[in-house]
Structure 1
Amino acid sequence: MSVVAPDLGSGQTLPLLTRLLSSARAGHRSENTDLLSVMETVQRHVSGAPLWVIGRGGAGAGAGAGADARVSD
């Protein structure tokens, strides 16, 4: 899972956090738990209210059937 943000001054995309995730790892509960954990980690380190754009398509069974969800604080 990767989280990026635009630098509003330069227009560059900056990496904020990357995690390798596997449902086979010890302690794995769900994709939603992983997603919320990443969002909480990023939120602790950025100011303001981020706009979250989450791409879920293109992986696993039913590839191509995913949809984007937009969540704002």
Structure 2
Amino acid sequence: MGAPTKAEQIAATRRFFRNCREWELLPRRFDPSRALAAPRGIATLLGPDPRVIADFIWAKPMWAAEP
């Protein structure tokens, strides 16, 4: 599974346990947002993935934009 899928699976589990706690099926001392937080490794993979644009490709829009 990819990082976004893993994060969504963890979030769905967290929502389930939050609902169970709200419906008083679980004790209040259980905090799903703390216990089921996304691991740092998954969280870092969710960020933007910038790539380097070659100079000759970047130059084309710059030349087109010149008056």
Q: TM-score, normalised by structure 1?
A: 0.29
More helix by share: 2
Q: TM-score, normalised by structure 2?
A: 0.30
